[in-house]
A and B are shown apart, each in its own frame.
Chain A
Amino acid sequence: MATLIQVSGLRKQYPLAGGGATPVLHGIDMTIETGEFVAIMGPSGSGKSTFMNILGCLDTPSAGDYWLNGQAVARLNPDRLAMLRNRQIGFVFQGFNLLPRISIADNVALPLLYAGVGKAARRQRAVELLQQVGLGTRSDARPNQLSGGQQQRVAIARALANRPPLILADEPTGNLDTHTSDEIMALFDRLNSEQGITLILVTHEPDIARCARRLVRFKDGHIVHDGAVNV
Chain B
Amino acid sequence: MSWHAAPAEAWRALGANRLRTALTMLGMIIGVGAVVLMLAVGQGAQSTVRQAISAMGSALLVISPGSSSAGGLRGGAGTAPPLTLNDAQAMAQLPSLSAVAPVFPNSAQLVYGARNWNTTVYGVTPDYLTVRAWNLDDGQPFTHGDVRRGTRVALVGQQIVANLFGGTDPIGQTLRIKNLPFVVIGVLERKGQTLDGRDQDDAVLIPITAAQTRLFGTTFPGTVRFIIVQARSDAHMEDAEAELTQLLRARRRLADDADNDFTIRNLSAIAETAALSARAMAVMLGAIASVSLLVGGIGIMNIMLVSVTERTREIGIRMAIGARRSDILLQFLLEALLLCVLGGLAGVALGIGGAWLVGELAGMAVVVTGSAIALSFLFAAGVGVFFGFYPARQAALLKPVEALRHE
Q: Which single residue of chain A is at the shortest CB-CB distance from B5? A: A113
Chain A nearest CB, measured from B393 CB (Å): 14
- B1: chain A residues within 8 A (beta carbon): 113-114, 116
B69 within 8 A of A: no
CA distance A14 to B11 in the complex (A): 39
CA distance A119 to B2 in the complex (A): 11
CA distance A110 to B323 in the complex (A): 9
B252 within 8 A of A: no
Q: A59-B399, A82-B319, A158-B321 are in contact. Are A116 and B314 (CB under 8 A)?
A: no
CB contact list, A48-64 vs B, under 8 A: 53, 56-60
CA distance A158 to B401 in the complex (A): 18
Q: A58-B400, A97-B317, A97-B404 are in contact. Are A85 and B322 (CB under 8 A)?
A: yes
- A158: chain B residues within 8 A (beta carbon): 321
B12 within 8 A of A: yes
In the complex, the answer to whether A60 meets B399 with C-beta atoms within 8 Å is yes
Range of interface residues on A (Cβ < 8 Å): 20 to 34
Q: Which single residue of chain A is at the shortest CB-CB distance from B313? A: A97
In the complex, the answer to whether A99 meets B317 with C-beta atoms within 8 Å is yes
In the complex, the answer to whether A101 meets B16 with C-beta atoms within 8 Å is yes
CB contact list, A40-77 vs B, under 8 A: 53, 56-60
CA distance A119 to B221 in the complex (A): 97
In the complex, the answer to whether B324 meets A82 with C-beta atoms within 8 Å is yes
- B322: chain A residues within 8 A (beta carbon): 82-83, 85-87, 111, 114-115, 162
Q: A60-B399, A102-B12, A116-B1 are in contact. Are A111 and B321 (CB under 8 A)?
A: yes
A227 within 8 A of B: no
Q: Which single residue of chain A is at the shortest CB-CB distance from B6? A: A113
- Contact digits for B84-112, partner A, Cβ 8 Å, 1 yes 0 no: 00000000000000000000000000000
B357 within 8 A of A: no
A188 within 8 A of B: no
Contact with B324, one of A57, A79, A106 (Cβ below 8 angstroms): A79
A78 within 8 A of B: yes
B9 within 8 A of A: yes
Q: A53-B401, A58-B400, A58-B404 are in contact. Are A101 and B17 (CB under 8 A)?
A: yes
CA distance A57 to B399 in the complex (A): 9
B132 within 8 A of A: no
Q: Which single residue of chain B is at the shortest CB-CB distance from A95? A: B404
In the complex, the answer to whether B324 meets A58 with C-beta atoms within 8 Å is no
CA distance A114 to B9 in the complex (A): 11
Q: A79-B324, A111-B322 are in contact. Are A116 and B317 (CB under 8 A)?
A: no
In the complex, the answer to whether B399 meets A102 with C-beta atoms within 8 Å is no
CA distance A119 to B320 in the complex (A): 21
In the complex, the answer to whether A59 meets B321 with C-beta atoms within 8 Å is no
CA distance A100 to B333 in the complex (A): 21
CB contact list, B1-20 vs A, under 8 A: 1-2, 5, 8-9, 12-13, 16-17
A218 within 8 A of B: no
B265 within 8 A of A: no
Chain B nearest CB, measured from A172 CB (Å): 15
- A102: chain B residues within 8 A (beta carbon): 12, 16
Chain B nearest CB, measured from A84 CB (Å): 8
Q: A59-B399, A99-B314 are in contact. Are A114 and B324 (CB under 8 A)?
A: yes
CA distance A85 to B401 in the complex (A): 12
CA distance A126 to B264 in the complex (A): 89
B225 within 8 A of A: no
- A91: chain B residues within 8 A (beta carbon): 320-321
Chain A nearest CB, measured from B80 CB (Å): 83
Q: A58-B400, A58-B401, A114-B327 are in contact. Are A97 and B2 (CB under 8 A)?
A: no
Q: A59-B401, A114-B327 are in contact. Are A86 and B321 (CB under 8 A)?
A: yes
- B5: chain A residues within 8 A (beta carbon): 113, 116, 119
CB contact list, A99-147 vs B, under 8 A: 99, 101-102, 106, 110-111, 113-116, 119
CB contact list, B259-315 vs A, under 8 A: 313-314
Which of B319, B323, B325, B401 has the most chain A CB atoms inside 10 A of its CB? B401
CA distance A78 to B321 in the complex (A): 13
CA distance A202 to B234 in the complex (A): 92
- A106: chain B residues within 8 A (beta carbon): 12
- Contact digits for B378-407, partner A, Cβ 8 Å, 1 yes 0 no: 000000000000000000000111001000
In the complex, the answer to whether B325 meets A79 with C-beta atoms within 8 Å is yes
B176 within 8 A of A: no
B318 within 8 A of A: yes
Counting from the closest, the 4 A-B pairs by CB-CB distance are: A86-B322, A101-B16, A58-B401, A58-B400
Pairs A–B under 8 Å by Cβ, sample size 6: A83-B322, A83-B324, A85-B319, A99-B314, A110-B321, A111-B321
Known contacts A85-B320, A98-B317, A114-B324, then 6 further A-B pairs from the complex at CB < 8 Å, ordered by chain A residue: A57-B400, A58-B401, A79-B325, A99-B314, A114-B321, A158-B321
Residues of A within 8 A of B (CB): 53, 56-60, 78-79, 82-83, 85-87, 91, 93, 97-99, 101-102, 106, 110-111, 113-116, 119, 158, 161-162
